[in-house]
Chains A and B, each alone.
Chain A
Amino acid sequence: MPGKLKVKIVAGRHLPVMDRASDLTDAFVEVKFGNTTFKTDVYLKSLNPQWNSEWFKFEVDDEDLQDEPLQITVLDHDTYSANDAIGKVYIDIDPLLYSEAATVISGWFPIYDTIHGIRGEINVVVKVDLFNDLNRFRQSSCGVKFFCTTSIPKCYRAVVIHGFVEELVVNEDPEYQWIDRIRTPRASNEARQRLISLMSGELQRKIGLKVLEMRGNAVVGYLQCFDLEGESGLVVRAIGTACTLDKLSSPAAFLPACNSPSKEMKEIPFNEDPNPNPHSSGPSTPLKNQTYSFSPSKSYSRQSSSSDTDLSLTPKTGMGSGSAGKEGGPFKALLRQQTQSALEQREFPFLTLTAFPPGLLVHVGGVVSARSVKLLDRIHNPAFVGIMGNTRSYKLLDWNSFNSDEPETRDAWWAEIRQEIKSHAKALGCHAVVGYSESTSICEEVCILSASGTAAVLNPRFLQEGTVEGSLEQRIEENLPVGCGFCHIPYDELNMPFPAHLTYCYNCRKQKVPDVLFTTIDLPTDAVVVGKGCLIQARLCRLKKKAQAEANATAISNLLPFMEYEVHTQLMNKLKLKGMNALFGLRIQITVGENMLTGLASATGVYLAALPTPGGIQIAGKTPSDGSYEQHISHMQKRINDTIAKNKELYEINPPEVSEEIIGSPIPEPRQRSRLLRSQSESSDEVTELDLSHGKKDAFVLEIDDTDAVEDVHSLLTDVPPPSGFYSCNTEIMPGINNWTSEIQMFTSVRVVRLSSLNLTNQALNKNFNGLCENLLKSLYFKLRSMTPCCLCHVNFTVSLPEDELIQVTVTAVAITFDKNQALQTTKAHVEKTLQRASADSEEPLQFPLELCSDSMPAPAFPAAKEHLESTSSNSGTPAAQRATSVDYSSFADRCSSWIELIKLKAQTIRRGSIKTTVTVEKASPMSDGNFRNRSAPPCASSTVGVVKMTPLSFIPGAKITKYLGIINMFFIRETTSLREEGGVSGFLHAFIAEVFAMVRAHVAALGGNAVVSYIMKQCVFMENPSKNQAQCLINVSGDAVVFVRESDLEAMSTQQPAVNCQTSCPGEVTT
């Protein structure tokens, strides 16, 4: 009996009228946890009942505490007939189960009913008393913290990053064909909500157990998803990154403690299979994977040749050694060994993180992805794995996590995909995959499983529980190449996994870099970027014949490689058109429908200073050709060149001219000669110099050999740039903009269009789909025009194909305003500064390898304690450029601007103060009729509802997160049988999404928080049946509940503290 859950029902308000005769309600409340139920008294005839109940006490196992949600049902008492349910509240009590998070849940919760939506609110207080040291109980994992945030949470420090954790649970879906069932939809939907709540809890607990096994104490980048598989059931699966986190209690305390490992940590007892797939010869067919390169028909001349030998190293060797900055041959090998030893002992060396502690990310190889088509009706047949004739079937490992067959099958599916990802990473010379994510698309009985990530070489320091001397870090940090190390190729340039064109890094001039870099991660904060970034999307539709079962799956799997290829080509062309050379945050979503497939890739394009200037796009006509055709071609060529020039201006891409002395004279290898030539001159003139070898043809030269190709070129040019004052990206931060104001607006926009044509062509379909996405963006820009200058960050498009000829696009993003003038100023300063540093570096002799050898590998490349502190304790979402300038207060102008900023912030403090007080007022006295009699209350007195910010980003601009209160993971179903009366489908969904936001905010407020960060709407499944006047929608959202403090408030506090404290916290904040 390790825990006691205590619940008190205080009051209700705004209840619906349940008795038409009296226009009142006789409400009471049932409080249920597990199998125990308590009831309050009936509060007669009131819409604002004051139950003020006793404490209801549940004595329960901690396992149940983790699995079960607290169920609160509000009912209307009826003497003669059955009591009518008004609605329910599910409260996830998990945040109360670990220290540092919330201690009490207390507040007004919306009472939710699947048919009526929100019907009033109920005030509840929940507490948990834990009796024992819970870690002794193997079945529970109380105490493990969960974070949706895909970086190390702001007020924590990563001691060790243990690696990938995954789990899934399967159950029968209580309702998968809701309209046709005999049971009322409401009953089954309530059952469904309850079940999913339970499954989420169970899943989280099981993941937590795995984390404890690994000696971790937290999961970062936790992503939980539902697969609604219809008849074959309901799958809840989750992935995350197990970490050992240390709470940063105060900035000062953190200074010396930077590298002290936790004493209680022990070596992880892995029962790993060190080499699960020795013949992982990488992608053999394009179907199940796409390692991003320029051609779908890649030749892998050197496949993971190192893996077998490297794996023989024991995890202990080379402990704590290795510097990211030393990239000579010997070092590279050594580093790889260490990384491997740390990572490869794990089944999957994957991290779901997209941003990393400084120094962790050494090199980035490129995007790795894998897809697999599965048939859901074969769920009980394990032999089905690898059913697609043209894919290789893997020998399955024994993942013995479940007793039932079903999860095992699902586990096997995912394991297969992960294996493939892993082998792709190896092919790229990488031993880890970062920015890793998994997704599914289901249509009837066909399911596409997808996984993608970025192959990377990581510094092993964080991945092991080693001891490192902090004093050495400073020195090594100084020798790190600034902001370009991650661009340097991790693979062997003589044995490249795909044809790429290498040059010496334009930043440090020491290492080789590819000409284009695609990644799924966020832009590293120290990356040197020229100009601004922008959202780049590739959009594609493919018609598919309707088919059943295997025939359908085969048809889909035959289409997939072509789609992957086309999406990739589009991305590449659009990137060139923007004059940029790298993509971050790449997310490719392939969606399957009954008669079509869609592909939507989103990424943020940037110009990395380390990479060469991209070449232009060359249009090649068919031969032979006549005069008018030539003219047409040249006209199109001109338009493309104009667009590139315009984009360069728009995104301020003016890479500095690199003088010959700085460059030195790298001797180009024969293969790269043409590449180098082009990169040093203006792109548009140089296109004729392009290497037209097969390998890169698709990337740079568009052959106009048929009408489709002409259309493709046209569609390239139809993408309209955002109106002035707007920027957009799908990453956390926008390169080139850093002076965010505190004004943010998170939103969700949903569009469903019907394609009303019987004889659709791919061409027309593409055009429609493209138009849908473009129009959606245009609408967003229009709606948010009052916020300019602003940037749409973390723009996340999701496509689903709910039925024939219906396309649904859901977008969630956050608009953040910024101060235009300051942003420009700081960017320039930073770029210049880093360039100077880079050129200075290049003159120094190469000394890294020597240093490494002599030093018996004590310290990896880690930042100085001071900088580490800055980046962690201050809002680490603020870009590096900002930090750079704020540290260097040399000019009077700088002081001035920050002084003005200070005053602005002060003003904000005052305004915010009023909100704070009203929150406490609200808690103290729920609104009652008596209040109205109070004549002294001013009209429109400030709202009693505290403001809760929501953002898909991991930070709040201009504020500092002081506490993480726990994960928010909520699942709602809403249904209606009076669709027209509720304003049609738009009215229905609009109201529902608003309600979902409200419920998220209420839960956060009850935990004592004032924001949700890393918010994501993972699912929005909308179904309608207009002829029956019915509709249903299912929404799943998650995020991290936090407490944030405005930096201006912090500043006021820090000025009262000793100067030491002030120094550590101020510089990063003054300029924001």
Chain B
Amino acid sequence: GPSLAPGARSEISALPEVALRLLARPGAVLAPALGERGPGIAMTSELDIFVGNTTLIDEDVYRLWLDGYSVNDAVALRVRSGILEQTGATAGVLQSDTMDHYRTFHMLERLLHAPPKLLHQLIFQIPPSRQALLIERYYTFDEAFVREVLGKKLSKGTKKDLDDISAKTGITLKSCRRQFDNFKRVFKVVEEMRGSLVDNIQQHFLLSDRLARDYAAIVFFANNRFETGKKKLQYLSFGDFAFCAELMIQNWTLGAVDSQMDDMDVDLDKEFLQDLKELKVLVADKDLLDLHKSLVCTALRGKLGVFSEMETNFKVCDPVQALPPKVLSAQPPASGAEDRTPKIPAPQNLSRGLVNVAAKLTHNKDVRDLFVDLVEKFVEPCRSDHWPLNDVRLFLNQYSASVHSLDGFRHQTLWDRYMGTLRGCLLRLYHD
């Protein structure tokens, strides 16, 4: 079928008002075709429907409908796509067709709110593949939109902000509402449900595996209210967050230890978060810290392009002392990047940062700021030192693994549960 020109959405506002108004009245469209002669002859369409035994679904029109365009805007966009020339149809035919599809979608929308209903209903005979398409597209969301809403409470208050989001993203308000309502609906249904979050979403909304995972992330973020809107987090995509969410759901929630709990995938394991305080010893105990550092340094010497920076950052990771003067003096403005001089943007360092993040997770406020902290305390320092991703990987692997060789450290399992996830998250978050 014909597809819309790329960037159609942004062009809609440029369409002349007059053209749209003309199309708005079917009578005006029909008139030239029917009543070119004879004064006072006009025919207005009172009723115009098409019902197939198999419900006709036009994917292009469905997309326009989902994108929140009015019938008239949709007709205008379809005209632009060149469909009239391709098919030899008239504007009146297009108007009628678009209206029909919109009406069908409107009737289907109620069923799409509970997709299993779409499968079991008898009114619309739709082939299974088309049903899947209808559902999948209905629940698909815009990247720009989800980044605005991710981690926010899905409440009425947020809904009022939709106007602003619409203005900011260029997504129609109608589409914003649909996407927001989808988030909220999925959230409400699976929020207090036992069992795997992704599976629950799939069962109740019949989404593809991919989309169900995305929704799991959205639900997880909404439930834990992770901050994602800060300016320094803007470089992160929804995919980055969703990736982290999946790791966290797998390892940090109740479901990771007990699959029979309610809300098991939605809430973080409180006990685990409490226990994380124990990790503090890794930076508080000077011997342990030095040992850990030397283990890491020994293993990575010669393998790491940014070894000196790593070594520097690791070495001064004494949480009790202030930063050594040497390091402070060695901190040039961020511009001197090429010479690989160690740059420490804040009085802290990698290991201390990572362990402190863990230790703080007992407070809800700090849980919410998890991603801000990770970016501030790890991503940004490394980035300003121009660590290649591979070096970050080598470092994190070694950093995590070396703990196993620390004799006096008793929380190996806890460390693995924490660092295993965090390592994955950090690697994903580490990009420009």
Chain A interfacial positions (CB closer than 8 Å to B)? 13-14, 108, 110, 118, 121, 723, 745-761, 763-764, 767-768, 771-772, 775, 778-783, 785-786, 806, 808, 927, 932-935, 937, 939-945, 947-950, 983, 985-987, 989-991, 993-995, 997-998, 1001-1002, 1022, 1024
> By the criterion CB–CB under 8 Å, are A939 and B209 in contact?
yes
Cβ-neighbour of B45 out of A753, A767, A783 (below 8 A): A753
Q: Given that A747-B50, A943-B131, A944-B119 are known contacts, is A1001 also in contact with B44, CB under 8 Å in the complex?
A: no
> By the criterion CB–CB under 8 Å, are A782 and B93 in contact?
yes
Which chain B residues (288-344) contact chain A, with CB distance < 8 Å?
none
Q: Which of B200-208, B271-279, B386-394, B397-405 contacts A (4 or more CB under 8 A)?
A: B200-208
Which chain B residues (70-120) contact chain A, with CB distance < 8 Å?
87-90, 92-94, 96-97, 99-100, 103-104, 106-107, 115-117, 119-120
Cβ-neighbour of B46 out of A753, A760, A779, A947 (below 8 A): A753
Chain B interfacial positions (CB closer than 8 Å to A)? 1, 30, 33-35, 37-38, 40-56, 87-90, 92-94, 96-97, 99-100, 103-104, 106-107, 115-117, 119-128, 131-132, 135, 195-196, 199, 202-204, 206-209, 212
> By the criterion CB–CB under 8 Å, are A757 and B41 in contact?
yes
Measured CA separation A767–B104 after assembly (Å)? 31
Contacts of B45 in A (CB 8 A): 751-753
> By the criterion CB–CB under 8 Å, are B203 and A932 in contact?
yes
Measured CA separation A596–B391 after assembly (Å)? 87
CB distance from B88 to the nearest CB of A (A): 5
Contacts of B96 in A (CB 8 A): 779
Ordered by A's residue number, 8 sampled pairs between the chains whose C-beta atoms are within 8 Å are A14-B117, A745-B56, A746-B52, A748-B50, A767-B34, A767-B38, A779-B93, A947-B125
> By the criterion CB–CB under 8 Å, are A768 and B41 in contact?
yes
> By the criterion CB–CB under 8 Å, are A944 and B122 in contact?
no
Measured CA separation A757–B87 after assembly (Å)? 32
Nearest residue in B to A750 (C-beta to C-beta)?
A: B49
Nearest residue in A to B55 (C-beta to C-beta)?
A: A994
Contacts of A991 in B (CB 8 A): 107
Measured CA separation A808–B53 after assembly (Å)? 21
Contacts of A933 in B (CB 8 A): 195, 203
Sort A-B residue pairs by CB-CB distance and give the 7 closest, nearest first. A771-B34, A752-B47, A940-B132, A747-B52, A764-B41, A752-B46, A746-B53
> By the criterion CB–CB under 8 Å, are A989 and B47 in contact?
yes
Nearest residue in A to B135 (C-beta to C-beta)?
A: A940
> By the criterion CB–CB under 8 Å, are A945 and B212 in contact?
no
Contacts of A950 in B (CB 8 A): 53
> By the criterion CB–CB under 8 Å, are B38 and A1001 in contact?
no
Measured CA separation A944–B121 after assembly (Å)? 9
Measured CA separation A750–B43 after assembly (Å)? 15
Q: Is the interface of A mostly helix, strand, loop or mixed?
A: mixed
Number of A-B contacts (CB under 8 A): 197
Contacts of A994 in B (CB 8 A): 51, 55, 107, 123-124
Measured CA separation A185–B34 after assembly (Å)? 38
> By the criterion CB–CB under 8 Å, are A997 and B53 in contact?
yes
CB distance from A162 to the nearest CB of B (A): 34
Contacts of B127 in A (CB 8 A): 947
Nearest residue in B to A787 (C-beta to C-beta)?
A: B56
CB distance from B359 to the nearest CB of A (A): 36
> By the criterion CB–CB under 8 Å, are B51 and A939 in contact?
no
> By the criterion CB–CB under 8 Å, are A749 and B51 in contact?
yes
Q: Select the residue from A758, A778, A927, A983 with max chain B CB neighbours within 10 A.
A: A778
> By the criterion CB–CB under 8 Å, are A948 and B125 in contact?
yes
Measured CA separation A83–B204 after assembly (Å)? 33
CB distance from B108 to the nearest CB of A (A): 10
Measured CA separation A754–B94 after assembly (Å)? 20
Measured CA separation A987–B92 after assembly (Å)? 19
Contacts of B203 in A (CB 8 A): 932-935, 937, 939
What 4 additional pairs, Cβ within 8 angstroms, besides A752-B47, A775-B90? A13-B120, A745-B54, A927-B120, A943-B120
Contacts of A934 in B (CB 8 A): 203
Measured CA separation A757–B39 after assembly (Å)? 9
Q: Is the interface of B mostly helix, strand, loop or mixed?
A: mixed
> By the criterion CB–CB under 8 Å, are A942 and B47 in contact?
no
CB distance from B116 to the nearest CB of A (A): 7
> By the criterion CB–CB under 8 Å, are A779 and B35 in contact?
no
> By the criterion CB–CB under 8 Å, are B33 and A771 in contact?
yes
CB distance from B307 to the nearest CB of A (A): 48
Cβ-neighbour of B122 out of A110, A752, A757 (below 8 A): A110
Contacts of A993 in B (CB 8 A): 49, 51
CB distance from A18 to the nearest CB of B (A): 18
Contacts of B48 in A (CB 8 A): 750-752, 986
Contacts of B44 in A (CB 8 A): 753-754, 756
> By the criterion CB–CB under 8 Å, are A749 and B56 in contact?
no
CB distance from A728 to the nearest CB of B (A): 16
Contacts of A775 in B (CB 8 A): 30, 33-34, 90, 92-93
Nearest residue in A to B196 (C-beta to C-beta)?
A: A935
Cβ-neighbour of A935 out of B89, B100, B116, B199 (below 8 A): B199
Contacts of B131 in A (CB 8 A): 940, 943
Q: Given that A983-B103, A991-B107, A993-B49 are known contacts, is A998 also in contact with B199, CB under 8 Å in the complex?
A: no
Contacts of B43 in A (CB 8 A): 753-756, 768, 771-772
Contacts of A987 in B (CB 8 A): 103, 106-107
CB distance from B97 to the nearest CB of A (A): 6
Contacts of B199 in A (CB 8 A): 935
CB distance from A545 to the nearest CB of B (A): 19
Nearest residue in A to B26 (C-beta to C-beta)?
A: A753
Measured CA separation A163–B43 after assembly (Å)? 46
Cβ-neighbour of A945 out of B30, B46, B122 (below 8 A): B122
Measured CA separation A751–B30 after assembly (Å)? 13
Q: Given that A747-B52, A750-B47 are known contacts, is A990 also in contact with B122, CB under 8 Å in the complex?
A: no
Contacts of A753 in B (CB 8 A): 43-46
Cβ-neighbour of A986 out of B37, B42, B49, B93 (below 8 A): B49
Contacts of A1022 in B (CB 8 A): 47
CB distance from B23 to the nearest CB of A (A): 16
> By the criterion CB–CB under 8 Å, are A806 and B120 in contact?
no
Measured CA separation A943–B208 after assembly (Å)? 15
Measured CA separation A942–B128 after assembly (Å)? 6
Contacts of A1002 in B (CB 8 A): 122
Cβ-neighbour of B97 out of A14, A779, A941 (below 8 A): A779
Measured CA separation A749–B93 after assembly (Å)? 13
Contacts of A995 in B (CB 8 A): 123
> By the criterion CB–CB under 8 Å, are B51 and A748 in contact?
yes
> By the criterion CB–CB under 8 Å, are B119 and A945 in contact?
yes
Measured CA separation A764–B202 after assembly (Å)? 58
Measured CA separation A146–B151 after assembly (Å)? 64
Measured CA separation A745–B126 after assembly (Å)? 12
> By the criterion CB–CB under 8 Å, are B40 and A759 in contact?
yes
Contacts of A772 in B (CB 8 A): 34, 43
Measured CA separation A329–B341 after assembly (Å)? 117
Contacts of A755 in B (CB 8 A): 41-43
Nearest residue in B to A767 (C-beta to C-beta)?
A: B34
Q: Given that A118-B123, A757-B42 are known contacts, is A783 also in contact with B34, CB under 8 Å in the complex?
A: no
Contacts of B135 in A (CB 8 A): 940
Nearest residue in A to B86 (C-beta to C-beta)?
A: A785
CB distance from A654 to the nearest CB of B (A): 26
Contacts of A783 in B (CB 8 A): 50, 56, 97, 100
Contacts of B107 in A (CB 8 A): 987, 990-991, 994
> By the criterion CB–CB under 8 Å, are B93 and A786 in contact?
no
Q: Given that A761-B38, A767-B38, A771-B43 are known contacts, is A983 also in contact with B106, CB under 8 Å in the complex?
A: yes
Nearest residue in A to B59 (C-beta to C-beta)?
A: A786
Contacts of B30 in A (CB 8 A): 771, 775
Cβ-neighbour of A747 out of B46, B53, B116 (below 8 A): B53
Contacts of A761 in B (CB 8 A): 38
Measured CA separation A942–B206 after assembly (Å)? 11
Q: Given that A751-B47, A783-B50, A986-B49 are known contacts, is A927 also in contact with B93, CB under 8 Å in the complex?
A: no
Nearest residue in A to B114 (C-beta to C-beta)?
A: A14
Cβ-neighbour of A997 out of B42, B94, B125, B209 (below 8 A): B125
Contacts of A944 in B (CB 8 A): 119-120
